[in-house]
Amino acid sequence: MSNKPIGIFDSGIGGLTVAKAISEELPHENLMYFGDTAHLPYGDKSKDSIKLYSKRISDFLVGRGCKLIVIACNTASAHAYADLAKRHPDVPIVNVIDPTVNYCSSRFESGKIGIIATKGTIKSRIYPRKIKKQNPGLIVSQQATPLLAPMIEEGFFNNNISKAIISSYLSAKNFKDMRALILGCTHYPLIKKEVSECLSEVEVIDSASVVATTIKEELQNLNLLRTKGESVKQFFVSDYTDSFEKTSKLFFGEKIQLIEDRIWD
Ligand code: DGL
């Protein structure tokens, strides 16, 4: 059972930041990744659409024998986590929001925490609700940043235009005097440096490494950790894109094989 892969999904390349952190923390684990490039961006889709996509992709991954599923997307974690946990009662499901909320609530006792994320995640108010429940002393300020995921997916960052867009979003009044900023979208670690450059003395938090630690603990508890052997990584997309191929190779090396599986046809 421990040889079975960890299933990971996102709308596109964002979840690769989580997959990368998992492969660093758990180098022997086999990974199966699904990028739903046919439907990205998820951030502006309805809750019902996200639930539908997530159910179909989780069926795909569970059907291929995945031992644990990681919803490596904040928007899908916000809208579909409860449904997936019910749909696959025998497979542990990990979302990217709870580990980040736990980290933040234990790290900060008071002050302001900012969040940037897709429209879907911000509208759900899942971060403020969960953070305030764990730590009522924290002030939470959030802001939708809908241009960022499509911009990153296109490989459009580290240039003057991306810098201008990021700095305009971060200059929002409600972000004044914050202690930390949560990157509430798995695409955003790719622009973490640009975000940090706009903010001085603000801790910029991305979920990738805290999620990887949570997965390690979960697999350990279930006795499902793979502790030796070479890792096999498979990457599926619902619609081939150059950008996905480029980013997955950048993260995991030239040898990876990208398979287009048009599960929606
Ligand atoms: N990476 C995803 C998230 O964390 C989705 C971004 C998008 O497709 O809009 O929300």
Considering only CA atoms, give the Rg of the chain. Answer: 18
Domain 6-95+209-260 and domain 98-207 have a common topology: yes
The pick from 8, 9, 11, 115 for probing ligand 1's pocket by mutation, whose C-beta has the most ligand atoms within 8 angstroms, reads 11
pLDDT along the chain (265 residues), means of 10: 96 96 97 97 98 98 98 98 98 98 95 98 98 95 97 92 97 95 97 96 95 97 96 96 91 87 92
Which ligand 1 atom is nearest residue 12's CA? Answer: 8
* CB 54 near ligand 1, within 6 Å: no
Ligand 1 centre to CA of 233 (Å) is: 22
Ligand 1 centre to CA of 76 (Å) is: 8
Report the pLDDT value the prediction gives residue 1, as an integer from 0 to 100. Answer: 87
Q: What is the rounded CA–CA span in Å between residue 82 and residue 18?
A: 20
Report the pLDDT value the prediction gives residue 180, as an integer from 0 to 100. Answer: 97
- Edge-first strand order for the sheet with 93-95 is 93-95, 68-71, 6-10, 31-35, 233-237, 258-260
Report the pLDDT value the prediction gives residue 254, as an integer from 0 to 100. Answer: 77
Residue with tokens 């991305």: 206
Q: What are phi and psi of 52, to 5 degrees?
A: -65, -50
Ligand 1 centre to CA of 75 (Å) is: 6
Q: Give CA separation, 186 vs 5, 11, 95, 99, 225, in Å.
A: 21, 10, 11, 13, 24
Q: Tell whether domain 98-207 is in CATH 3.40.50.1860.
A: yes
The pick from 18, 34, 39, 73 for probing ligand 1's pocket by mutation, whose C-beta has the most ligand atoms within 8 angstroms, reads 73
Alpha helices (runs of H) in 88-238, residue ranges in sequence order: 97-107, 119-124, 126-134, 148-153, 160-170, 192-198, 208-221
* CB 188 near ligand 1, within 6 Å: no
The pick from 187, 206, 207 for probing ligand 1's pocket by mutation, whose C-beta has the most ligand atoms within 8 angstroms, reads 187
Contacts of 246 (CB under 8 A, 6+ apart): 155
Q: What is the rounded CA–CA span in Å between residue 1 and residue 158?
A: 42
The answer to whether residue 185 is catalytic is yes
* CB 186 near ligand 1, within 6 Å: yes
Sketch the domain layout of the chain as residue ranges.
6-95+209-260, 98-207
Which ligand 1 atom is nearest residue 72's CA? Answer: 4
Identify which of 199, 141, 144 has the alpha carbon closest to the alpha carbon of residue 173: 141
Ligand 1 centre to CA of 156 (Å) is: 16
* CB 35 near ligand 1, within 6 Å: no
Report the pLDDT value the prediction gives residue 257, as an integer from 0 to 100. Answer: 84
Architecture of domain 6-95+209-260: 3-Layer(aba) Sandwich (3.40)
The answer to whether residue 66 is catalytic is no
Q: Give CA separation, 222 vs 83, 89, 225, in Å.
A: 22, 14, 8
Q: Read off the DSSP letter of residue 203.
A: E
Report the pLDDT value the prediction gives residue 225, as an integer from 0 to 100. Answer: 97
